[in-house]
Chain A
């Protein structure tokens, strides 16, 4: 029931992910951050097998950092996307990663971008994308309300609409979401949307 979605706006890309870590019928935690910072101007929002998700995204993150040290300049978003796709494709017929990824990035030359990379190494550059059961609702919402060049406020408004749809229409909807944004000033957390807060320690 993991929900990850994102969209490209005017000079920025937004990615949203649910924050539940679930095992069978148990929710381990509801503040698991599934959007990893790849470098100063890139995020990977990943969903899928929890072990694979962390292993794969950390592996990509370290390789992207290594590229930057070797070459003195960071990878472009397109290059990072193709590198990730390549890794998924190589592992696919040996030891596949069950991870779906939305790569959000900002490049000085080409502006904001969003890449849809699924677990069998499909790669698409998109304006809006989503994974999981939540995609049925968020994609429809975005198809109805998205237009290119949205402002941050308009985009957040659309994101909130999507979250409301997911929470009300998905049978086991995740209660909490995290929203992150990438623009020319870098990749940073924008906001959380929480319905359930983890309880504090009981009074002694």
Chain B
């Protein structure tokens, strides 16, 4: 029978698409992810939930390359992510083949968002349960970009954003502390916002930075630990300065 054709995502009487909202719930339960745009760099950070002792952590990469100049991190259903990432990678190469030019960050974001929207308006399927953070450099103008998509298929550009668990706290922190940064300062800002909601330590965070010259670089655990130590030291110094006001004569 044609039962399987029935749409799963239908409007509620008060104009909600419940399946999409439930998908957003799935995103809210996913691991925290943050993206920060600098003047010459874009940084992605993802929370690594405690890896099982017997698991080979190298096989669990949460920040992936879509092309030489585009990277993606996501929060939500990782299996759904695999499907979207695969389609996006194919589209990146297909675009290069047909127009002999690499995709812009906006193009591929629009493509992924378009895919996500399609699954909210088709029969027999459910929406993708993930929000993505897409970063990259425009291949012609060389400017860095950060975009976010969500299960409804909307997308927009951001200076800095977070998604997944405790994304509201991270976004609040970013709104308070964001300023135009470059290079290592941008990396630090991304890690600082992640540390607001994640247990500190290189073992629990995966960070990758993309620059125009070197493409995507995954930071080593030792590097992350070093930056975390720096951040903690700065925090401690700030606390100390607050508690002991400078003596003035």
Contact = CB atoms under 8 A, between A and B. Distances in A.
Interface in A26-77: 58-59, 62-63, 65-66, 69-70, 72
Contacts of B67: 69
Interface string B88-110: 01101110110000000000000
Nearest to B67: A69
A24 B97 CA distance: 28
A197 B60 CA distance: 54
Contacts of B94: 62
A62 B99 CA distance: 12
Contacts of B61: 72
A86 to B, nearest CB: 18
Interface in B36-93: 61, 65-67, 86, 89-90, 92-93
A62 B93 contact: yes
B93 A63 contact: yes
A62 B89 contact: no
B81 to A, nearest CB: 14
Nearest to A65: B93
Interface residues of B, number: 12
Interface residues of A, number: 9
Contacts of A58: 97
DSSP class of B's interface residues: helix, strand, loop or mixed? Answer: helix
Nearest to B61: A72
Nearest to B88: A69
Nearest to B90: A66
B60 to A, nearest CB: 13
B66 A69 contact: yes
A63 B89 CA distance: 10
Nearest to A64: B93
Nearest to B66: A69
B129 to A, nearest CB: 22
A133 to B, nearest CB: 31
A69 to B, nearest CB: 5
Nearest to A72: B61
A80 to B, nearest CB: 15
B97 A62 contact: yes
A65 B68 CA distance: 10
Interface in B228-243: none
A69 B65 CA distance: 7
A201 B65 CA distance: 44
Which residue, A58, A62, A69, has most C-beta atoms of chain B within 10 A?
Answer: A69
21 contacts: A58-B97, A59-B97, A62-B93, A62-B94, A62-B96, A62-B97, A63-B93, A65-B93, A65-B96, A66-B89, A66-B90, A66-B93, A69-B65, A69-B66, A69-B67, A69-B89, A69-B92, A69-B93, A70-B86, A70-B89, A72-B61
Interface of A: 58-59, 62-63, 65-66, 69-70, 72
User: Nearest 4 CB-CB pairs, A to B?
Assistant: A62-B93, A62-B97, A66-B93, A69-B89
Given A62-B93, A63-B93, 17 more contacts: A58-B97, A59-B97, A62-B94, A62-B96, A62-B97, A65-B93, A65-B96, A66-B89, A66-B90, A66-B93, A69-B65, A69-B66, A69-B67, A69-B93, A70-B86, A70-B89, A72-B61
